Structure 1
Amino acid sequence: MGLRERKRQHTFDAVSALAIDMFLERGFDDVSVNDIAAAAEISKPTLFRYFRSKEDLALHRIADHAGEPARVVATRDAGLSPLDALHRHFLDGLARRDPVTGLNDDPRVLAYHDLVFSTPALAARVEEFRVRDERSLAEALSPEAPGALPARLASAQILAVQRVLARANWQRLREGEPAATLHSEAVAAADQAFGQLRGGVGF
């Protein structure tokens, strides 16, 4: 990355971090783009050169994961099935306390999660990410027929499992359980869930 790109990335990260701090303190709807630009000491047009919308200011940490399931499948080791690659990736995320797995009890991460899913505009944008991920994963699972029903069903089921696992972890953390204590149960739940995917619904 060249100097110009590094400077741009530094500004991008700094403005987004500032905006998220303001959203957490005052609420998403009570902070305007003008407020953020003033606090960052940049003009509003400059801000919009980095972020297309106010929602993007809040969600770039989630947007960084966009397309991740498809990338995991596309770059998996030879001989590893797509489902096994995604299972392994989710377990690695639990070990890293990746917030996308729901198993991160940093107070700011929990507050950020609450902000996103209690704000309709942000939750709606996250749903857009999910739809795109579902489409790209279907393409990675079945490049020759990504629009066929089997690929679309498999993609939807896999992403639903990951979402349910993450939400369950997050809920238990909100109830006061520490991530370190919950980790082994989260791993067992992930193993059970991916096992159910391999074996069929079972109902």
Structure 2
Amino acid sequence: MVERTKLRPIASGLLTPFQGLCFLGFQLLFVLGTLLQLNNYSRVLGASSLLLFFSYPLMKRLTFWPQAYLGLTFNWGALLGWAAIKGSIDPAIVLPLYISGVFWTLVYDTIYAHQDKEDDLKIGVKSTALKFGDSTKEWITGFGILCISSLALSGYIAEIGWPYYALLAVASGQLAWQIWTVDLSSRLDCNRKFVSNKWFGAIICSGILLGRLSS
């Protein structure tokens, strides 16, 4: 019933729900094989994320904040990646990193959700796009500021070198460009801005690598 997604395999009938479940089972086995290569702490941490992953698809039916729940789910890797290397979590560094990812998700997925707001209204599901309405840019500006602030805090506590902050400033500009220029009434432009987040992520990743090399 959603224009943008009606041609996806299960929605269009190309695959049956049973075939989808079989593919899901294959993916979970692959993930399990990967998880078993890690330390015990990471195995438990990784397995604990399954509750988030399985419950996320229901959130649009329960709350106007599914994008926040998606942020909690998608960014679990910030916790797991650190634990896989260190064998535990350093909350002072990892929690700000995780929180920054949650706020980033709230920015890009709220923009993304504006593509479907008319269809979501028709079928009765919820999103931050519907929650914020005409105030969306003000909300995602706040989320963007919190994202960048949390990234700066995480980098400071981790004692990353100056290239990280230089590239964090560049990433801030990229995020600000998205928010200020997005046309929330245009599905095409919302998708364009959403996809542009690959550059935000690449800039932050480069900053972490260069900052660590220089420190």
Q: What TM-score range do you get, normalising by the shorter chain?
A: 0.3 to 0.5
What is the TM-score of this pair, normalised by structure 2?
A: 0.33
